[in-house]
Structure 1
Amino acid sequence: MPAPAIFQNNAGVNPSEMIDKLMQAERMPLLRLEEDIARSKVEIKAFEELRNRAKKLSDTSRDLYSFAGPFATKSVVSSDPGAITGEAAPDVDPGTQEVEVLELATKHQITSRKLARSESLPKGKFTINVGEKELEVEFPGGGVVDLERALKGQAGQDYEVSVINIDANTALISLRSSVSGTDGAFSFSDPDGILKQAGFIGDKKVEKKNSESVAFEQSKIQSPAEAKYKVSADKKSLSLESGSQASLKLDSEPGVISLNTSSGPADGASAEGASDKPGSDDRRKVRTESTKPGPDVEVEAGDIKFPAADIERTRTVKEGNPSENPAASATSPGQVTVLFESGGTTQKRQFTLPASGPMELPLNDLAEGSKITSIEFQAAEGSNLTVADLRIDSTKMDAAFGPLNETQPAKDARLKMNGIEITRSSNQNITDIIQGASLNLHRPTNGPVEVTVQANTEEIKKRILAWVESYNDLVKFVKENDEFVKSDEFQMNRDSTGDIREGYRQLKDRSGIFAGDPTARQMLNSIQT
């Protein structure tokens, strides 16, 4: 007897629907597992995003915490934007100076004459002087390409070599110094005549500039027995107390003497140079003055009235000196005297020092054969004087030859500081004009501009705003993903016949990623506390 067909005797049953439901029931654990995997991936991404935002907050917090220095760091701002920039040390007092940039420093650039490619130059040696270096070049002989190769072989970081092709048959060689200012000017020694034949040099010799930093050596300082002075550990500065004098022995060629000065009132003196408190040594400047008795008055003590006693009041009055100059506070803190030998006799020149800032003493016009023998520093009464960064710049005729064809002469930067013209070999990182500040020159100015040292408020504001943004971003992200769905939007047990687990899954799907997980909330609480 054949087996009966499935569902053959079950009228009203849809076999396909029943099979689909049975298969769906069998797949349910797998579907839930796939949902759990997908949900876990979303949670992993959410926690990665949480970590990234927390790290960003940590970085900005560390940046802000380590900003103790920059909170005090000063910036240099020019009233002519972009002309002068710079930075200042934290201990520099805010203030304004007048600076005028007359000319920027340039790098020396020269060329040979036009050389035919078929032309041959003789074998030999020559020396290139650039910066503080003397570079000896050995030339095997040959044409333009061979000379270019020989020059590049010694160039290093001191100069650049390039060939400019004029046409198919002629070219010239260009040299550009890597050192700015007159310190980087080219000069040459050419015993074999190679450079002269190539048109690099002529018959004119050059003046050699020498810059000598002068140290305050204790063994070279002389002073009266009563003088009080101090030399810094690095021997770069000399400090004199009020009224003191010191002389530094030298044996230098005539030139321009550069120095920096700073000053302040002597200990126990006011800004005007005298103590406000009368002492035994200046009693003549103080008198006692009596006032007249006051009017009769009655004093009440409860219900009792009685006349007050007459009281004579006295006070001390400081007498000013009628001959005293009201502008005395603006006087110089001292003087400097330069002694030199000229024509067999000792002569001197005296200069008044500024209260602070750089100063140049021109002694480059002395007669040939003169020698600077000493420099005397004298602090004024009531002022302490400090002299620093002493330097002598001199020039003399050198045995080397100068270039014949200059496309860019070597020039120092020229600027005026509070009306005093000074020169520097570089446009960048000039540290000896404003004490504690580094200046960068970008272009000449149209007259004096105000250079102000001030707090770096823009950088402070930038870092604080970055921290606030990262903090708000983290808090917003946690709160948006840490909320359960509202009860009026979803009831977990709304279907009494449904599976409680299905309701929980729906609740999780419709709530935030971090809902029910204390990790994010604990992290946020720890940050806020």
Structure 2
Amino acid sequence: MPVTMGGMASGMDTDGIIKKLVEVEARPIYQWQAEKETFNQRKQALGKLGTVLSKVSDASKDLYGFRAQYNEKKAITDDPGALEVIASRHAQPGERAIQVDEIAAAHKITTDPVASDQKLSAGKFKIEVNGVSHAVKFRGGTLKALQEQLDADATDIVSTSIVNTSEDKQLLTVESKSPGKKGEIRLSGERDILYESGLVKGAKEGDNEKVAMVFDARYFVPYAGEAKIPQNTGNLDLDKDGKFVKLTGLLWREYLLPAEIAVKKNSLLEVAVEYAVAQGREKDEALPFKLEVGPEEKTIIKGIELQGYNVSRIRPLDKKEPQKQVTDLLGVGVVSVDAQKNTREEKLYPIEKNFKGRMEIPVGRDFQDKKITKVIFYCNEGDAKFADAAFLTPIDTTGLLEPKNVISKPADAKLKVDGVDITRDRNEGLNDVVKGLTLNLKGKTVKPVHVKVEHDSEKAVQKIKQFVEAYNAYIDYDRQLTKAEKVDKVGAYQANKDKNGIFMGDMTILRLENSLRATVNGAYPGRTEKPIKLFTQMGISTGAVNSAWETIREGKLVVDEGSLASTIRERPDAVEEFFGSDTDGDNRIDNGMAFAVENLLKPYVSTGKNLIASKMDLEDSSIKSADDRIARKQEHLKKYEEKLRKKFASMEQSISGAKSQGDWMKNQMKAGEGGN
């Protein structure tokens, strides 16, 4: 724009006049800029609202379904240094006594101390752990070379290390990677290298793998096999230590084994047996079936002779049916159940009534490569006592060599759970001993460790509190967005307009608030014995009794943590159903407060073009429209200012021309007067 010096002819401040006229014309721009600022504020507020709603939605998801934790349990032990117990939601509340008698140990052997530069002979040998064997081909060399060869050939089953016992001597340790008895290191093959290094001392003697049975009344169940037996009328007695079981009279029982027993060809069932004939049996055959009438009798009373037969005092006896002969008075049996095929295979082993002592039953002959799940004990008459029952499997030691230096023998963990003996091959992660509990054995105990399992409401309480905090944060922010400043005087609305929320009167925001309040404070069905239908029933409300109306009207939730925790502990299923339940039996959650909240908020927080994102797009459109109007107006102002300058320039020229003409006329008039 060219530089102008307005007002030289007219004496007016034409530049100032033009500026003020342009400012008047530009007033809509200031209004649109203010509107644009409002649109930006609304967009930012919507973005924050979406974040607040997402937190409410996420918190509600944690309250139902697989994320819910209302039935969580915790285990407390009085000796955590020896026994660590972790409870899952499937654990049964109560107390148990667990005693750790033995800790599982890995087999660890060493060589003799050998000079570090001593050359060992070459040789081949086999090393086996838990059924996995490797052939080791040693080409000769130092103890270090033997270690390297073991690491190369058998690193998956053993670990090795070199220990310097003195400046010039060292020994090699070999440790099994499988804990328990199954992790025994078994050596065989050429003996020279093994003797020379001191790993073995000679041939290994035979042994038996033994699984002892400890009787517990809880594991005895009625016989369910194919044998046809009369109705059981006998009794069962147990030794308090579980060492023997006694059957009296007619009684058949199956004993459920705590763990399946894998049977090999030479496996045996060993049991001590003792039998006694029932006492007090009457021998009916020794009595006559009928008493005969005696001879005639004569009786004289006070001189009077009476004659008659002794009939009234004679009674015939009913003939008893002869007792059926029992073929097998007592015996034992084993059962193999295949749960996948739903089949049951059993075998009974009768025992002679005169037998007394330990009996070995060749169960491996009939159940080779199968798993025994139950043992049958039966008695048809008399008293049968079965004691010290155990499964024995001879360990094949053919060709095996005996380790010379044993640092630790392979040992299984042995513990008692409520008096029942349990054996496992490891110390950590024992999750198959007590349902719902994982045991980690840290050390032996001299007495039972008391374990108390109870409901753990802490996690559930924290999740519910997180939901309440997210919901209350939404209520606070929603009030900030939709508040309406109270006006007491006529005409004061405009003065207080800026104090109102930027979404005051917005139906989308107001409808969401009303719907969410109704959903959270609504009633929901329950099928438990004592259902929870309202949030208030678990100690969560909009205010305590006798609270101020203003506090209640705010709608923010207040948590009575003590009441909430006790409700979760006492009625976990009812709490879970309140937040999410299946009402039509299709195994899909379709009702509940948390479920309803999540579904209500889905249109507002879902990925993509949800309602909040759509409203933000509308604000973006309004911002763009304002920018377009401002740009068009600014272009108009440039032209308007240019037009004004042209008009004022024309005016200045006209005034300047008029002044020049006036001056010329004055000069002419003065010249005429001078000539006269």
| CA displacement, residues 90-142 of structure 1 (integer Å, 9 cap, x when unaligned) | 4x754333222233222233333445554433333222222233333333444
Q: Is the 2:6–2:15 contact (alpha carbons within 8 Å) kept by the matching residues of 1?
A: no
| CA displacement, residues 240-264 of structure 1 (integer Å, 9 cap, x when unaligned) | 9x9532699997347799xxxxxxx
Which residue is 2:176 aligned to? 177
Which residue is 1:59 aligned to? 61
Would the alpha carbon gap of residues 523 and 37 (structure 1) be closer, same or farther in structure 2, given more than 3 Å must change? closer
Which residue is 2:159 aligned to? 160
| Distance in structure 2 (CA, Å) of the matches to 1:463 and 1:391 | 51
| Distance in structure 2 (CA, Å) of the matches to 1:4 and 1:423 | 107
2:230 to 226, 229, 245: 226
Give the percent of matched residue pairs that are identical in Structure 1 and Structure 2: 23
Q: Is the 1:201–1:403 contact (alpha carbons within 8 Å) kept by the matching residues of 2?
A: yes
| Distance in structure 2 (CA, Å) of the matches to 1:380 and 1:51 | 74
Gaps of 5+ in 1: 215-220, 229-239, 258-334, 350-369, 382-389, 495-502
| Distance in structure 2 (CA, Å) of the matches to 1:446 and 1:176 | 28
What is the CA distance between 1:46 and its match in structure 2?
0.8
| CA displacement, residues 422-457 of structure 1 (integer Å, 9 cap, x when unaligned) | 543222344565467553333333522223344344
| Distance in structure 2 (CA, Å) of the matches to 1:456 and 1:57 | 20
Would the alpha carbon gap of residues 17 and 466 (structure 1) be closer, same or farther in structure 2, given more than 3 Å must change? same
Q: Taking structure 1 as the reference length, what is the TM-score of the superposition? A: 0.56
Would the alpha carbon gap of residues 34 and 409 (structure 1) be closer, same or farther in structure 2, given more than 3 Å must change? farther
- Is it true that 1:525 corresponds to 2:514 in the alignment? yes
Which residue is 2:252 aligned to? 245
| Distance in structure 2 (CA, Å) of the matches to 1:134 and 1:422 | 29
- Is it true that 1:404 corresponds to 2:408 in the alignment? no
Which residue is 1:371 aligned to? 360
| Distance in structure 1 (CA, Å) of the matches to 2:509 and 2:196 | 81
Moved more, 53-62 or 138-147: 138-147
Q: Is the 1:412–1:426 contact (alpha carbons within 8 Å) kept by the matching residues of 2?
A: yes
Would the alpha carbon gap of residues 191 and 477 (structure 1) be closer, same or farther in structure 2, given more than 3 Å must change? farther
Q: Taking structure 2 as the reference length, what is the TM-score of the superposition? A: 0.46
| Distance in structure 2 (CA, Å) of the matches to 1:256 and 1:15 | 122
| Distance in structure 1 (CA, Å) of the matches to 2:205 and 2:7 | 119
What code does the residue aligned with 1:43 have? Answer: A
Would the alpha carbon gap of residues 21 and 431 (structure 1) be closer, same or farther in structure 2, given more than 3 Å must change? closer
| Distance in structure 2 (CA, Å) of the matches to 1:521 and 1:446 | 68
| Distance in structure 2 (CA, Å) of the matches to 1:245 and 1:165 | 63
Structure with bigger gyration radius: 2
Would the alpha carbon gap of residues 71 and 38 (structure 1) be closer, same or farther in structure 2, given more than 3 Å must change? closer
| Distance in structure 2 (CA, Å) of the matches to 1:256 and 1:524 | 75
What is the CA distance between 1:407 and its match in structure 2?
3.8
Which residue is 1:218 aligned to? none
| Distance in structure 2 (CA, Å) of the matches to 1:488 and 1:371 | 103
Helix, strand or coil at the partner of 1:226: coil
Would the alpha carbon gap of residues 403 and 136 (structure 1) be closer, same or farther in structure 2, given more than 3 Å must change? same
Helix, strand or coil at the partner of 2:178: strand
What is the CA distance between 1:60 and its match in structure 2?
1.8
Q: Is the 1:98–1:417 contact (alpha carbons within 8 Å) kept by the matching residues of 2?
A: yes
Helix, strand or coil at the partner of 1:468: helix
Question: Counterparts in 2 of 1:331-410, with a 5 A limit?
Answer: 347-348=356-357, 371-373=360-362, 377-378=377-378, 392-394=391-393, 396=395, 398-399=397-398, 400-410=400-410
Would the alpha carbon gap of residues 348 and 251 (structure 1) be closer, same or farther in structure 2, given more than 3 Å must change? farther
Moved more, 198-207 or 185-194: 198-207
Helix, strand or coil at the partner of 2:452: strand
Which residue is 1:78 aligned to? 77
| Distance in structure 2 (CA, Å) of the matches to 1:177 and 1:405 | 14
| CA displacement, residues 54-109 of structure 1 (integer Å, 9 cap, x when unaligned) | 332232233xx4467x545655443334624143674x754333222233222233
- Is it true that 1:109 corresponds to 2:108 in the alignment? yes
| Distance in structure 1 (CA, Å) of the matches to 2:25 and 2:379 | 106
What is the CA distance between 1:53 and its match in structure 2?
1.1
Q: Is the 2:86–2:438 contact (alpha carbons within 8 Å) kept by the matching residues of 1?
A: yes
| Distance in structure 2 (CA, Å) of the matches to 1:145 and 1:41 | 73
Q: Is the 1:76–1:88 contact (alpha carbons within 8 Å) kept by the matching residues of 2?
A: no
Which residue is 2:451 aligned to? 451
Question: Counterparts in 2 of 1:171-210, with a 5 A limit?
Answer: 171-203=170-202, 205=204, 208=207, 210=209
Would the alpha carbon gap of residues 192 and 202 (structure 1) be closer, same or farther in structure 2, given more than 3 Å must change? closer
Which residue is 2:425 aligned to? 425
1:39 to 13, 18, 41: 41
What is the CA distance between 1:203 and its match in structure 2?
2.7
Which residue is 1:483 aligned to? 483
| CA displacement, residues 3-53 of structure 1 (integer Å, 9 cap, x when unaligned) | 982255556899599589689869747854863574255235313422431
What code does the residue aligned with 1:414 have? Answer: K
Helix, strand or coil at the partner of 1:180: coil
Helix, strand or coil at the partner of 1:147: helix
- Is it true that 1:493 corresponds to 2:483 in the alignment? no
| CA displacement, residues 383-440 of structure 1 (integer Å, 9 cap, x when unaligned) | xxxxxxx972556572423433344443322333445655432223445654675533
Would the alpha carbon gap of residues 253 and 16 (structure 1) be closer, same or farther in structure 2, given more than 3 Å must change? farther
- Is it true that 1:148 corresponds to 2:139 in the alignment? no
Which residue is 1:366 aligned to? none
What code does the residue aligned with 2:159 have? Answer: E
| Distance in structure 1 (CA, Å) of the matches to 2:89 and 2:76 | 14
Helix, strand or coil at the partner of 1:56: helix
Q: Is the 1:224–1:246 contact (alpha carbons within 8 Å) kept by the matching residues of 2?
A: no
Q: Is the 2:42–2:502 contact (alpha carbons within 8 Å) kept by the matching residues of 1?
A: no
| Distance in structure 2 (CA, Å) of the matches to 1:190 and 1:456 | 57
What code does the residue aligned with 1:53 have? Answer: K
Helix, strand or coil at the partner of 1:61: coil
Q: Is the 1:56–1:470 contact (alpha carbons within 8 Å) kept by the matching residues of 2?
A: no
Would the alpha carbon gap of residues 107 and 192 (structure 1) be closer, same or farther in structure 2, given more than 3 Å must change? closer
Q: Is the 2:160–2:175 contact (alpha carbons within 8 Å) kept by the matching residues of 1?
A: yes
What is the CA distance between 1:186 and its match in structure 2?
1.8
What is the CA distance between 1:466 and its match in structure 2?
3.9
Helix, strand or coil at the partner of 2:62: helix
Which residue is 1:365 aligned to? none
Q: Is the 1:53–1:473 contact (alpha carbons within 8 Å) kept by the matching residues of 2?
A: no
Q: Is the 2:267–2:392 contact (alpha carbons within 8 Å) kept by the matching residues of 1?
A: no
Q: Is the 1:104–1:412 contact (alpha carbons within 8 Å) kept by the matching residues of 2?
A: yes
Helix, strand or coil at the partner of 1:445: coil
Helix, strand or coil at the partner of 2:121: coil
> What is the total number of aligned residue pairs between the two structures?
388
| Distance in structure 1 (CA, Å) of the matches to 2:134 and 2:446 | 40
| Distance in structure 1 (CA, Å) of the matches to 2:476 and 2:380 | 66
Which residue is 1:386 aligned to? none
| Distance in structure 1 (CA, Å) of the matches to 2:17 and 2:102 | 97
| Distance in structure 2 (CA, Å) of the matches to 1:222 and 1:81 | 48
Helix, strand or coil at the partner of 2:415: strand
| Distance in structure 2 (CA, Å) of the matches to 1:198 and 1:135 | 19
What code does the residue aligned with 1:226 have? Answer: P
Would the alpha carbon gap of residues 462 and 377 (structure 1) be closer, same or farther in structure 2, given more than 3 Å must change? farther
Q: Is the 2:482–2:503 contact (alpha carbons within 8 Å) kept by the matching residues of 1?
A: yes
What is the CA distance between 1:191 and its match in structure 2?
1.8
Question: Counterparts in 2 of 1:296-311, with a 5 A limit?
Answer: none
What code does the residue aligned with 2:136 have? Answer: V
